[in-house]
Structure 1
């Protein structure tokens, strides 16, 4: 039974009561809720108009027909259904029957992940398969390096083996063997079917196991790329490989995993587009029938701050307050816009994320069919991960398509066939071309501003290009003049401690990368690299209490190493200042390989 104030329902209710007596089927009181407060009817109808592209004045628009579609209190429901108290009681009975349990942790308190079991041959364990493929892959990588003329002596070889064994131990201990095997499998399939794959993206490029398995194509060892930036043994969370595929063939890789693990186990992920401050004003203004010019004046008075709310905008901008006070139409616009601000405007599909699960995904989450008939999980990325569903990122990158087309043209016109990995990162010709400013079409380096920076910096090696890529971003840009002065010898490069030189030499004493923060903490204050990753995160978030704890820990470690505490404190403060802008070196390096 519903009491909505609409005549049809009021006529139906007596019939339902009579039918209940005749059939013995109990009555249930229902509250048809469309919005929270009774005064929100107009806001709800405005939201409907936004979704249906109509105006409030449109005679054919949808109307609720009553202001009773709000969330009523138990007392209000009892009053509405006072003739049928048992109908209200029955809602409690139904609620008590409802049971849903998300088992998010196992008996040891570890997160449960719904990851498919990677198929191995002959009953081989996932651990043994990982070890075998990783060691075979490393042997192949080292052989290729030697063939390219790189020197791998016994000492360096021992470093590779030690790092590989360490990473394998961490991955196995955290239970992620299956995840790595699944990723290497679909990347391997793509490469074997001539689908270009990026050399890496994000912090995953810091893993030697990933490099050995062919997940990434940049050796992390020569560039001080850190595994713990990707997978921290002291902070249990799922690894997350972002993988770039040729734009034209990305869907083929998704089809491969769908066929391998079953359609019921593979799904896209929903995204919810929410109404932000300016968008809310523009949408409400259109629905109210205001002209573009009228709405534009109001929208542009909202300060351009990330995440700003309309309430904040009204508090901060006197011109907006004045307009609201003098123009009733603007006042109504702002009142309505504030009511719908932050609500979902539309749903879409995540551009890259694909869930691969152990069995039928619908056992874990609700699904719907996308426009192409594909499964789409109705939990967004954040909530999907909370219940243990694992997202794999299949990104489409046009640059990989362009590079592949260029290689085909070289073969066609020059009769020479080669792969991108055959291009040496030490080829001086690369840097000579870039120093001239000939950067048109070069991935991430073709804009006027960054081209000007390249001309000024005159890069001569891969490390220089990586630093430029990391610095040319909002925030780190402030460090560019200092970087250039040091690189050109106009400013002396000094290190607070001699131990910092190997870490900061390539960036001329400036902390540019997040990984440098980790290495400094490990070297100066005896942090493990996992612990240093927690320090890096704390510096990025700037939580005063956590920062105070970390500073005490850092100075204690520096004291153990018999370092000057005044200098150590200066170093910590310098790191904290730079860390808020510090960039992920693994990502910058991998994308510079693409460039």
Structure 2
């Protein structure tokens, strides 16, 4: 009886999930129900998947609306009808045009027009697949109408949008958020009627009891609709199933490519072990029908190579020698003893998963290529949900609260008892809408390449990036049998590529660098030194304070050690305490004996500690005696969304019961389970860590031998873990001279000549990109500028943009003071700018009238504040502008002298990490630069953090005790005082 039900995927309209809708139907003894979200099919697949658990027949369709005004409801007769509806919806979403007042003619879908769209006595002509729908609230009107329509064309159309009054209130708030208006200003036409609720089967039959034919028509229509998908464990993949169009040709092509790869990769080192591994993998890949997946990835990276795009193939795909031979990855699984079963095993039904990173600059072209090369392609969707702070801010605006009140509520800086009624409503309803989908976004990397048209599974949106995007996420896609290709954009690769170009320009004698010579990098003593001493600033994945701390403690300088560190640092391992235990076992041979013999045997390289995702499978299969299939369910279950799945809970119980059967003590079982559970989807596969380590070595090589060029490339690609100024200070400490932008020497990006780094126009926060383009184009065509007058005659620029350039010293070549130039600019530019549109540029230079200006002077302190305004930081550093100069010159290099003693040191805050103790109290790890631009680390335990509340960047005077843990020195802070800067001298 319910053919028009909404979930919260009717965005900013519906109020509960598709599963909650099924629960509601079950409660009201409804055995068939239609999900028809507004201009959206996101929930349809999961609705069908879950309906079987409630023994409810699912019908799916779409509620077509223009500006939330209902036109008609479409119901899919079958899978072809679902595609027809998706085609129609997608076309209008892509074109961003309204739906027509009358539905088109569908061959396999039914259309229901709401009764209220028609006037009394109107003669209605309906197609064979079209009906009029009447809600229980409209029965009285219908009874007295003279609508000229045949009885068999009338069905019940009772909308369902709410369960309770609270849902209705939430709906109104969501509609106000969507319209960006106060709740009190929300028009009636923008909200649903409170009557849009589900009532018990007997009650709705009673309400339609005078119109038995309507009930019969509705039931008959329900019986005609049947859409189904295969969600079973052993379902076939829906991905493109051949590459060449023929399975046999696919198989032969894969073998041919592998044989070619053997000659390139192993040359004179082709052992029987390699041949055996290749044959084993090929046999399983062909048997599992995963050949096309490998070939599609090979085609993508072949295109990248033809364009000289840098890429890194990572993830568990690095466990495959076939992937290595095809060039998809650069990790040799034989060298690292990576077992193929983590990637593909006979129990696996889903295709293998490759993650391929490209430069963020190249990724769009790679995506374009994929859409043009293959037929049925779309980006994978993901839903951005309402989070706590965002929900409070949105609701605060809807209720009309002032900004300062909203800020206090969002930051939880309040006593609930002291809140007024409106403020409490904001808190109550923020908790209700928290977790609801807010809008559809794009998955960070997922691309679907399907055998069939993707509109068989959902409609598609067309976001600003210009590529069709399906309306469901990765979890539902995998449930269905569609598996994503991961194409990621990464700045680290762009840094490496750009650094090589900069080196070729600045040091032409070094242009023949083989950045892929990883084998020699692994043995390079200078690179080993950087890793061992954790001097890795700007280097991919190893520059963060946490990684620097870990490397310092491990004192590793090997490839294997770096691979382990890349995974140990992940939250899952660190949270469980296994990171600390690993460090202890690295330094203490006796402690390794604490591990259970089975665990030590399984993970000999990591001293019996689970570090990689493969370790979950090893422990589950060999320690807890789960099948490989069950072990993989457990591994995948580590991700948050799968933890609530029935399959994961069943495997967890079997894990524990199997261990008890093996005779293990409960204390050991719980300890091992906690290690498994702590991974929480964050641990890396070993091959993934190995891939990251390869890129780390490339960046470490560049940092070791071409540090200035590499730091310039880092800045040009948006920096890294730290703010841009940190990399500039690092360059300065390595001997660079940092020069502010100049209209004659700077480019848009930063550049280097010798040891001089010229900041680019990109560093000026308020300079328009278009202004930069105009200046650079004119300079290229007409040569350098000779004076301010010459510049003004050639470049059309506003006085505001011109002032930015003058204040930052971009005209310093003229030898004139900035203040003098500003006076001249205002005198001369105003006249030039006033006539720019009417008068063409003069063919001949005209002398400008000279003005007698007083002698003006700019101090270095004024320059520093101009730079803070322009760049966000001063090139001289913040120590130069302290109100009270530092009382000491203590530096990070002196920490060792103060070991286990109190120290007084000044530091400029560059990184802060908030965390919580096991009791839930907040503590902070903070990283600083000392007066000589050396890095040092501190920890503020809860009592200290609560007292001083370290939050904002700036210079602090730090008092604390120097402590040592595995040769890593840090300061346990007991007092910290933020230092004031001098007043801005420009306004003194």
TM-score (norm 1): 0.80
Moved more, 15-24 or 227-236: 15-24
Deviation at 1:214, TM superposition (A): 1.2
- Asked if residue 97 in structure 1 is aligned to residue 224 in structure 2, the reply is yes
Q: 2:539 aligns with which of 427, 433, 442?
A: 442
SS of residue in 2 equivalent to 1:494:
helix
- Contact persistence 2:381–2:469 (CA under 8 A): yes
Match of 2:977 in 1: none
- Contact persistence 1:539–1:576 (CA under 8 A): no
Q: 1:354 aligns with which of 447, 467, 471?
A: 447
Moved more, 166-175 or 478-487: 478-487
Match of 1:44 in 2: 171
Moved more, 367-376 or 539-548: 539-548
Match of 1:402 in 2: 495
- Asked if residue 458 in structure 1 is aligned to residue 572 in structure 2, the reply is no
Moved more, 543-552 or 40-49: 543-552
**CA deviation vs aligned residue, 1:87-142 (integer Å, no higher than 9, x gap):** 4443323222222232456xxx8312222243439984322322222233233211
Match of 1:418 in 2: 513
- Contact persistence 2:350–2:483 (CA under 8 A): no
More helix, by proportion: 1
SS of residue in 2 equivalent to 1:290:
coil
- Asked if residue 515 in structure 1 is aligned to residue 614 in structure 2, the reply is yes
- Asked if residue 27 in structure 1 is aligned to residue 154 in structure 2, the reply is yes
In structure 2, the CA distance between the partners of 1:408 and 1:10, relative to structure 1 (3 Å rule), is closer
User: Whole-Å Cα distance in 2 between the matches of residues 525 and 334 of structure 1?
Assistant: 45
In the alignment, structure 2 segments of 5+ residues that lack a partner are 5-69, 71-113, 123-141, 697-988
In structure 2, the CA distance between the partners of 1:367 and 1:592, relative to structure 1 (3 Å rule), is same
Deviation at 1:22, TM superposition (A): 6.0
SS of residue in 2 equivalent to 1:43:
helix
- Contact persistence 1:369–1:376 (CA under 8 A): yes
Alignment of 1:478-497 (within 5 A): 478-489=577-588, 492-494=591-593
- Contact persistence 2:624–2:659 (CA under 8 A): no
User: Whole-Å Cα distance in 2 between the matches of residues 132 and 175 of structure 1?
Assistant: 17
In structure 2, the CA distance between the partners of 1:356 and 1:141, relative to structure 1 (3 Å rule), is same
SS of residue in 2 equivalent to 1:411:
helix
User: Whole-Å Cα distance in 1 between the matches of residues 695 and 362 of structure 2?
Assistant: 18
Q: 1:590 aligns with which of 675, 685, 691?
A: 691
Moved more, 17-26 or 449-458: 17-26
In structure 2, the CA distance between the partners of 1:261 and 1:131, relative to structure 1 (3 Å rule), is same
Deviation at 1:254, TM superposition (A): 1.7
Deviation at 1:9, TM superposition (A): 7.5
Deviation at 1:398, TM superposition (A): 1.0
Deviation at 1:415, TM superposition (A): 4.1
Deviation at 1:217, TM superposition (A): 0.7
| Higher RCO (C-alpha 8 Å, min separation 6) | 1
Match of 1:315 in 2: none
SS of residue in 1 equivalent to 2:441:
strand
Deviation at 1:587, TM superposition (A): 1.6
Q: 2:197 aligns with which of 70, 73, 85?
A: 70
Q: 1:197 aligns with which of 311, 333, 341?
A: 311
In structure 2, the CA distance between the partners of 1:54 and 1:209, relative to structure 1 (3 Å rule), is same
**CA deviation vs aligned residue, 1:163-221 (integer Å, no higher than 9, x gap):** 222222222222211111111111122122211111x3222211111111111111112
User: Whole-Å Cα distance in 1 between the matches of residues 329 and 636 of structure 2?
Assistant: 24
User: Whole-Å Cα distance in 2 between the matches of residues 573 and 37 of structure 1?
Assistant: 43
Deviation at 1:589, TM superposition (A): 1.6
Deviation at 1:247, TM superposition (A): 0.8
Larger Rg: 2
- Contact persistence 1:535–1:550 (CA under 8 A): no
Match of 2:335 in 1: 222
Match of 2:275 in 1: 161
User: Whole-Å Cα distance in 2 between the matches of residues 10 and 518 of structure 1?
Assistant: 59
- Contact persistence 1:538–1:547 (CA under 8 A): no
- Contact persistence 1:428–1:461 (CA under 8 A): no
Deviation at 1:520, TM superposition (A): 6.6
SS of residue in 2 equivalent to 1:41:
helix
In structure 2, the CA distance between the partners of 1:42 and 1:485, relative to structure 1 (3 Å rule), is closer
User: Whole-Å Cα distance in 1 between the matches of residues 510 and 172 of structure 2?
Assistant: 65
In structure 2, the CA distance between the partners of 1:406 and 1:39, relative to structure 1 (3 Å rule), is closer
Match of 1:374 in 2: 467
Q: 1:237 aligns with which of 347, 350, 359?
A: 350
Match of 1:139 in 2: 263
Deviation at 1:491, TM superposition (A): 5.7
- Computed over aligned residues only, the root mean square deviation of the Cα atoms, in angstroms, reads 3.8
User: Whole-Å Cα distance in 1 between the matches of residues 487 and 692 of structure 2?
Assistant: 16
In structure 2, the CA distance between the partners of 1:224 and 1:85, relative to structure 1 (3 Å rule), is same
**CA deviation vs aligned residue, 1:397-437 (integer Å, no higher than 9, x gap):** 11111111112233342343234321323333212122333
Q: 2:253 aligns with which of 117, 129, 133?
A: 129
- Asked if residue 290 in structure 1 is aligned to residue 389 in structure 2, the reply is no
SS of residue in 1 equivalent to 2:242:
coil
SS of residue in 1 equivalent to 2:382:
strand
- Contact persistence 2:317–2:353 (CA under 8 A): yes
SS of residue in 2 equivalent to 1:282:
helix
- Asked if residue 54 in structure 1 is aligned to residue 181 in structure 2, the reply is yes
User: Whole-Å Cα distance in 2 between the matches of residues 371 and 538 of structure 1?
Assistant: 33
User: Whole-Å Cα distance in 2 between the matches of residues 72 and 349 of structure 1?
Assistant: 37
**CA deviation vs aligned residue, 1:280-325 (integer Å, no higher than 9, x gap):** 33322221122344344444449xxxxxxxxxxxxxxx965x45xx
**CA deviation vs aligned residue, 1:538-561 (integer Å, no higher than 9, x gap):** 8997955222244257x3xxxxxx
- Contact persistence 1:54–1:61 (CA under 8 A): no
- Contact persistence 2:311–2:357 (CA under 8 A): yes
Deviation at 1:525, TM superposition (A): 8.9
User: Whole-Å Cα distance in 1 between the matches of residues 274 and 492 of structure 2?
Assistant: 31
More strand, by proportion: 2
SS of residue in 2 equivalent to 1:205:
helix
- Contact persistence 1:268–1:354 (CA under 8 A): yes
In structure 2, the CA distance between the partners of 1:574 and 1:378, relative to structure 1 (3 Å rule), is closer
In structure 2, the CA distance between the partners of 1:516 and 1:571, relative to structure 1 (3 Å rule), is farther
User: Whole-Å Cα distance in 1 between the matches of residues 317 and 600 of structure 2?
Assistant: 26
- Contact persistence 2:151–2:213 (CA under 8 A): no
- Contact persistence 2:384–2:438 (CA under 8 A): yes
User: Whole-Å Cα distance in 1 between the matches of residues 625 and 163 of structure 2?
Assistant: 54
- Contact persistence 2:160–2:197 (CA under 8 A): yes
In structure 2, the CA distance between the partners of 1:177 and 1:523, relative to structure 1 (3 Å rule), is same
SS of residue in 1 equivalent to 2:155:
coil
User: Whole-Å Cα distance in 2 between the matches of residues 383 and 500 of structure 1?
Assistant: 35
Alignment of 1:199-214 (within 5 A): 200-214=313-327
Deviation at 1:161, TM superposition (A): 1.6
In the alignment, structure 1 segments of 5+ residues that lack a partner are 147-151, 303-317, 556-564
Match of 1:274 in 2: 385
- Contact persistence 1:205–1:220 (CA under 8 A): yes
Deviation at 1:237, TM superposition (A): 2.4
User: Whole-Å Cα distance in 2 between the matches of residues 538 and 29 of structure 1?
Assistant: 42
- Contact persistence 1:485–1:491 (CA under 8 A): no
